[in-house]
Homo-oligomer: A and B are copies of this chain.
Amino acid sequence: MDAENYCIAGRLRMLSRIMTSLYNGAFNGEEVTLPQAGLLMYIFAKPGIRQVELAQLLYIEKSGMNRELQLLQRNGWLTDNLKQGLFLTEEGRVKAKRCHKIWKALNLTMREQLGPEAVSGLDALSGQVFAFIAPAETQQTTTE
């Protein structure tokens, strides 16, 4: 049947849209989006990290990463100089903590809702995709 042959990329895009929408909803009160919250939490965990490293970790093109960071900066969450490593402002650290609280609860709930089979399915898929695009590199262990 055709249902067995759905588009892998298309399906991932669809699931990405759906889940992004759910997570974004949870961050509404904080006036941040999921991608923004993710970056805040990441920089909180690794202050001083460089743009290029963050971009590689998340498989985002460096120019897109740069623009995301400029956005965080405009919101007052990142310090001035983006070239010398990324650092949160005090406001940014507060925001990151609040986001982490929301994220942690939601992500746990989501794992429970989806169930272990779906989650391990995502694990298996992730592993294979990472192995496919970077056969030699070490395993992916990012937070986002």
Contact = CB atoms under 8 A, between A and B. Distances in A.
A111 interface: yes
Contact of A107 (B8, B111, B123, B126): B8
A118 B128 contact: yes
A16 B19 CA distance: 12
A29 interface: no
Contacts of A136: none
Interface of A (DSSP majority class): helix
A33 to B, nearest CB: 11
A95 to B, nearest CB: 17
Interface in A89-144: 103, 107-108, 110-111, 113-115, 117-129, 132-133, 139, 141-144
A22 to B, nearest CB: 7
A132 B35 CA distance: 22
B132 A127 contact: no
A115 to B, nearest CB: 6
